[in-house]
Chains A and B, each alone.
Chain A
Amino acid sequence: MLSQESLRQIDREIAKYPPGRRQSAIMSALRIAQVEKGWLPKEVIEFVADYLGMPPIAAYEVATFYNMYDLRPVGRHKITVCTNLPCALSGGVYAAEYLKKKLGIDFDETTPDGKFTLKEGECMGACGDAPVLLHNNHRMCGFMTTEKIDQLLAELERQ
């Protein structure tokens, strides 16, 4: 179900917790699985639960509670824009509108070619760099003026 590399990474996470506390690694394990698969299908969540020796329902609870897990397929590039108050005061809403126009999609939609998904995000803890967006959960981009958004999209388009 998961690659040897992903399992190696998950094992490294498990080792951080005391013996008998493998469940503590569920958040990292789901993240690692999501990076490999692009999103988290039911079978993958169940596999991870089984790997950690926890009931599948407890793994679903985690997967549905934390909002960076994707329980439905997303585009190759998921872009999450913060529109919370500090960002909104410094162009966050404008950046989101610009992205919508440029990609031709609304929040929670994916472009027809499957390349981009747009999401509205809550505070990312980087309000001083507003407007802020997150690429595929792990790369944060700050001071996103329209020019920088253009550059980012062009870069991702080439990948």
Chain B
Amino acid sequence: MSAHALILAGAGGERAWRLQDYAARGGYAALRRIIAGKTPPEAIIAELKTSGLRGRGGAGFPTGLKWSFMPYAFPGDKYLVCNSDEGEPGTFKDRDILRCNPHAVIEGMIIGAWVMGCTRGYNYIHGEIFEIYQRFEEALEEARAAGLLGRNILGSDFSFELFAHHGYGAYICGEETALLESLEGKKGQPRFKPPFPASYGLYGKPTTINNTETFASVPFILGMGGEAFLNLGKPNNGGTKIFSISGHVRHPGNYELNLGTPFPELLAMAGGMRAGRKLKAVIPGGSSAPVLPANIIMDCTLDFDAISKAGSMLGSGAVIVMDETTCMVRALERLSYFYHEESCGQCTPCREGTGWLYRVVRRIERGLGKPDDLDLLRSVAGNISGRTICALGDAAAGPVQSFIKHFADEFAYHIENKKCLVPPLVQEAGSQIYM
């Protein structure tokens, strides 16, 4: 996958995901060392802070800090949850991690449980990847049989149970409190925060939720040391990151790169633009991240701070590439439909607003747009942002605001001329694969 592959190291062969293969790559060594040496939790948190590891699910929150929020001495059950409910358009890295290196996630979770004193954990796996869920179950069985999970792990007095939970089709469950509701057997509607999960989480107990890739990074950090991991990336943006690149490139897929790698390098690794066409725009961090025109993204390095400075976000590292054959109105229409479909319906601004956004973009796309529709879109988007319990509302507004900002001419052309700036046949040719 790449010269730097840590997390995707098992991608080489069909069997490379098994426990013995992971162990042969040095897997579970960090955990064995921690348990044998009774490493204090504070020392591990300090190492994570040094490493600059930031949450890989989208928000980029420092992991060491998050782990320090858990009340270690809280009596009774505490929970650890892995968020593998990956359903943001453009994102497909967790599936590959669980497919080729599930034990890295398991080891990361066991270490997390050690640090935070958690007794029980769940990995919430996206509904559409049932085959991966089955593989993870198999990996859990291997770990249990090897004494790495369950009671008295590796002969110590430390116990931790870990299970897989299978989702069944709801984007909103990627939001951590919706995920907790779903784990409790309810519809996935986000909770109001505060209280935050670290004080009131699963079944009302202290809970920490991290992304799959975040957990998978932990054994490598403790293996090489926080400093070495940090130095793979750049200050405040430590380590490697998996980038899922999709859209108009020759070889879409997952590429694990050091944070801070220039965007053109990723594009080149993905084989460059399909059929040698010209780059038009990139959504750098999953469909919720603001779109960036070619000239801006080509100058960016891929890390949290640089992408943020360019006006977007690194998010989950899902890079959607669009070439000159793309109609930006049509692209936005598809994204707006998604958010309308996936709004959980709890907050009025999101439930109603996402429908408005979709319908107005659709009418522009269909040549029925009105002169003041762009103002209307800005107004609706502005009235959703910041007025909802969770971030889905902002995620729906963000694409609308950024598409209009950077491609205003194309939207205006659509409204005036009642057709696409890019002829439909050209668009169709652009979306063909295997040329």
B168 interface contact, C-beta 8 A: yes
A69 contacts partner chain B, Cβ-Cβ < 8 Å:
yes
Q: Determine if A24 and B184 form an interchain contact, defined as CB atoms under 8 angstroms apart.
A: yes
Which residue on chain B has the smallest CB distance to residue A137?
B130
Min CB gap A79→B, angstroms:
13
Complex: A65 Cα to B178 Cα, angstroms: 12
Which residues of chain B are within 8 angstroms of A138 by Cβ–Cβ distance? 130-131
Q: Is A156 an interface residue (CB 8 A)?
A: no
Point out which of A61, A84, A86 has the most chain B C-beta atoms below 10 A from its C-beta: A86
> Which residues of chain A from 116 to 138 have any CB-CB distance to chain B below 8 Å in the complex?
121-131, 134, 137-138
- Whether the pair A31, B166 counts as a contact (CB closer than 8 A) is yes
1/0 per residue, CB under 8 A from A, across B332-368: the answer is: 0011001001101000000000000000000000000
Tell whether, in the assembled complex, residue B169 and residue A67 are in contact, meaning their CB atoms are under 8 Å apart. Answer: yes
Say if the beta carbon of A105 comes within 8 Å of chain B.
Answer: no
Of A52, A68, A93, A121, the residue contacting B168 (CB under 8 A) is A68
Asked if B244 and A84 sit within 8 Å, CB to CB, the answer is: no
A132's nearest neighbour on chain B, judged by CB, is B128
The closest CB in chain B to the CB of A143 belongs to B433
For A18, A93, A126, the residue with the greatest tally of chain B CB atoms inside 10 Å of its CB is A126
B175 within 8 A of partner (CB): no
How far is B126's CA from A138's CA once the two chains are assembled, in angstroms?
11
B331 touches which one: A17, A52, A85, A140 (CB < 8 A)? A85
Q: In this assembly, does B92 line the interface, its C-beta being within 8 Å of a C-beta of chain A?
A: yes
Tell me whether A89 and B326 are in contact in the complex, defined as CB-CB below 8 angstroms, given that A18-B120, A139-B131 are known contacts: yes
Q: State which of A62, A134, A139 has its C-beta within 8 Å of the C-beta of B187.
A: A62
Contacts of A125 in B (CB 8 A): 86-87, 91-92, 94-95, 126, 128-129
Min distance, Cβ A152 to any Cβ of chain B, angstroms: 16
Closest residue of chain B to A86 (Cβ to Cβ) is B246
Query: Would A122 and B186 be within 8 Å (CB), given that A89-B248, A91-B432 are in contact?
Result: no
Name the CB-closest residue of A to B94: A125
Residues of B within 8 A of A17 (CB): 163
Interface centre among A24, A85, A127 (most CB of B within 10 A): A85
Chain A residues with CB under 8 A of B214: none
Determine whether the beta carbon of A128 is less than 8 Å from that of B253. yes
User: Size range of the interface on A?
Assistant: 35 or more
Which residues on the B side are within 8 Å of A123 (C-beta)? 87-91, 171, 287, 338
B127 nearest CB neighbor, chain A only: A68
- Please state if A128 and B130 are interface contacts (CB–CB under 8 Å): no
Annotate A17-28 by CB proximity to B: 1 below 8 A, 0 otherwise: 110010111111
Instruction: Give Cα distance in the complex from A22 to B316, angstroms.
Output: 33
- A86 CA to B252 CA, complexed, in Å: 10
Q: How far is the CA of A112 from the CA of B431 in the complex (A)?
A: 32
Known contacts being A122-B341, A127-B89, is A23 close to B322, with CB within 8 Å? Answer: no
Q: B129 to chain A: which residues have CB within 8 Å?
A: 124-126, 140
Query: Is B61 part of the contact surface with A, judged by Cβ < 8 Å?
Result: no
Nearest-CB residue, chain A, relative to B270: A128
Task: Assess whether B247 is in contact with A86, with CB atoms less than 8 Å apart.
Answer: yes
Which B residue sits closest to A90, measured CB to CB? B433
Q: Out of B92, B167, B182, name the residue touching A127 (CB < 8 Å).
A: B92
Residues of chain A within 8 A of B331, CB atoms compared: 85, 88-89
Report which of B170, B203, B318, B341 forms a contact with A65, defined as CB distance below 8 A: B170
Among A28, A85, A139, which residue has its beta carbon within 8 angstroms of that of B335?
A85
Closest to A68 in B: B169
Report if A61-B95 is in contact (Cβ < 8 Å); known contacts: A83-B334, A93-B431, A127-B252.
Answer: no
Kindly list chain B residues whose C-beta atoms are within 8 Å of the C-beta of A121.
Answer: 128
* Chain B residues whose C-beta falls within 8 Å of the C-beta of A26 in the assembled complex: 185
Give chain B interface residues in 131-179, CB to chain A under 8 Å. Answer: 131, 163-171
Complex: how many Å from CA A130 to CA B433? Answer: 9
The reply on A99 being an interface residue by CB < 8 A is no
Q: Which residues of B contact A37 (CB under 8 A)?
A: none
Interface residues of A in 48-105 (CB under 8 A from B): 52, 54, 58, 61-62, 64-69, 83-86, 88-94
Chain B residues whose C-beta falls within 8 Å of the C-beta of A45 in the assembled complex:
none
Bound complex: CA A58 to CA B344 (Å): 16
Which of the residues A18, A122, A143 comes within 8 Å of B77, measured between beta carbons?
Answer: A18
B335 / chain A contacts, CB cutoff of 8 Å: 84-85
Q: How far is the CA of A130 from the CA of B183 in the complex (A)?
A: 30
Cα A141 to Cα B357 in complex, Å, equals 32
Q: Are A85 and B341 in contact (CB under 8 A)?
A: no
Beta-carbon contact of A128 and B254 below 8 Å: yes
Residues of A within 8 A of B245 (CB): 128
In the bound complex, CA of A37 to CA of B131 (Å): 20
Least CB distance, B254 to chain A, in whole angstroms: 7
Whether the pair B244, A89 counts as a contact (CB closer than 8 A) is no
A128–B252 contact, CB under 8 A? yes
Contact of A122 among B91, B246, B338 (CB under 8 A): B338
- Give 19 CB contacts A-B under 8 Å: A16-B163, A17-B163, A61-B186, A61-B187, A65-B344, A66-B127, A85-B338, A89-B320, A90-B433, A92-B431, A125-B86, A125-B94, A125-B129, A126-B129, A127-B90, A128-B245, A137-B127, A140-B128, A145-B433
- Closest 3 A/B residue pairs (Cβ): A23-B185, A65-B187, A68-B169
Given contacts A89-B322, A89-B331, A122-B169, 4 further A-B contacts (CB under 8 A): A31-B168, A129-B252, A134-B128, A137-B127
